[in-house]
């Protein structure tokens, strides 16, 4: 199994949610896990619970990431850290665009750039990128999910593209790349006021929702698979969630909307 070939792992966004659940699962599999996040208090508690190495690092700090990458030979990299905002391209704030690109995409590219070459040189390793169904599907405002921003969708689509290209770049090595694309998961993102009013009760309480441990189990399945096998992509959604949104407007409705916009 894959776990028998690996000794160390690095997990970003590790202080809560999917990241913390992944740290717990990988530690339980016997790996030495470097848990990366900004919240020192939560990391300390997680370290006391699991024995992981707490690394209070901002993923936007390239110098700190580079130093961390050189502190160990990482066999498993889980790019999990991410943020979301609520808006569309018509009203997205400049700061939101910058934050989402920096955290969701730029940090992943840099961390991959400084860690994966070592995996390739050792001919051993596994990269797990956490994307989102938002990177594959467009959501309308009437969708029964949070109306995440176009920048969020774009960054997660970038993670999907990165995962596919990384497999090409690593062809001929025994370094595997897995993209895990979750649907709705009961994490702190739904309690973020920037995502939309109502918080956890609105987006999680009334629905059948995945738990962070479900995604950690999916990651463990991929990492623990036989070395002859690469789980390229896992789309993991709740049993009562379906993706895709096809809508049509009647000509009269479209004309009415146009007239309303002209008057406003």
* Percent of the chain with pLDDT strictly greater than 90: 64
Strands 32-37 and 53-56: parallel
251 or 135: which carries more pLDDT confidence?
A: 135
CATH of the domain at 27: 3.40.50.720
Helix, strand, or coil (residue 121):
helix
Distance between CA atoms of 165 and 167, rounded to whole angstroms? 5
How many independent structural domains does the chain possess?
1
Q: Are 145 and 203 in contact (CB under 8 A)?
A: yes
Residues 88-125 have pLDDT tens digits of 767 778 788 888 999 999 999 999 999 999 999 999 99
Average pLDDT, the chain: 87
Residue pLDDT, tens place only, 177-226: 999 999 989 876 544 444 444 445 555 555 678 999 999 999 999 999 99
Is the pLDDT assigned to residue 55 strictly greater than 90?
A: yes
Nearest to 232 by CA among 173, 183, 185, 175: 175
Segments forming the whole domain that contains residue 124: 2-263
- pLDDT, residue 145, reads 47
Global confidence as pTM: 0.86
242: confidence class by pLDDT, cuts 50, 70, 90: confident
Q: Answer yes or no: 152 catalytic.
A: yes
pLDDT reported for residue 148:
65
In whole angstroms, give the CA distance from residue 132 to residue 152: 9
Cα dihedral across residues 47, 179, 170, 152: positive or negative: negative
CB-side exposure of 226: number of CA atoms within 13 Å? 2
Q: pLDDT tens for residues 18-42? A: 999 999 999 999 999 999 999 999 9
Q: What is the mean pLDDT of residues 158-168?
A: 97
Instruction: Report the alpha-carbon distance of residue 203 to residue 173 in Å, rounded.
Output: 42
Q: Which two tokens stand for residue 107?
A: 């940090």
Position 147 confidence tier, pLDDT thresholds 50, 70, 90: low
Strand order of the β-sheet with 233-236 is 53-56, 32-37, 8-12, 76-79, 125-130, 175-182, 233-236
* pLDDT of 240 over the 90 cut: no
Token pair of 131 as six digits: 């994307």
Contact 184, 159 (CB under 8 A): no
Catalytic residue among 34, 74, 152, 203: 152
- In this predicted structure, the answer to whether residue 157 has a pLDDT above a threshold of 50 is yes
Residue 76 vs residue 136, higher pLDDT: 76
């Amino acid at each position: 199994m894959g776990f028998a070939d690996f000794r160390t792992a690095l997990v970003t966004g590790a202080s809560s949610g999917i990241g913390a659940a992944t740290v717990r699962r990988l530690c339980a599999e016997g790996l030495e896990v470097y848990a990366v996040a900004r919240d020192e208090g939560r990391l300390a508690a997680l370290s006391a619970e699991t024995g992981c190495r707490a690394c209070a690092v901002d993923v936007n700090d390239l110098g700190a990431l580079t130093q961390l990458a050189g502190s160990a030979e990482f066999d498993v990299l889980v790019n999990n850290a991410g943020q979301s905002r609520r808006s569309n391209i018509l009203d997205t704030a400049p700061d939101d665009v910058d934050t989402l690109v920096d955290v969701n995409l730029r940090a992943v590219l840099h961390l991959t750039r400084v860690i994966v070459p070592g995996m390739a040189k050792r001919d051993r390793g596994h990269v797990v990128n956490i994307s989102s169904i938002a990177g594959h599907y467009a959501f309308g405002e009437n969708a029964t999910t949070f109306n995440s921003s176009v920048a969020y969708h774009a960054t997660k689509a970038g993670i999907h593209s990165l995962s596919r290209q990384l497999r090409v770049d690593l062809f001929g090595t025994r370094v595997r790349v897995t993209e895990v694309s979750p649907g709705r998961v009961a994490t702190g993102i739904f309690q973020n006021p920037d995502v939309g009013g109502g918080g956890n009760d609105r987006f999680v309480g009334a629905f059948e929702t995945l738990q962070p441990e479900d995604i950690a189990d999916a990651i463990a399945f991929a990492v623990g698979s036989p070395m002859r096998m690469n789980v390229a992509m896992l789309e993991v959604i709740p049993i009562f969630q379906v993706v895709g949104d096809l809508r049509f407007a009647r000509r009269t409705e479209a004309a009415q909307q146009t007239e309303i916009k002209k008057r406003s």
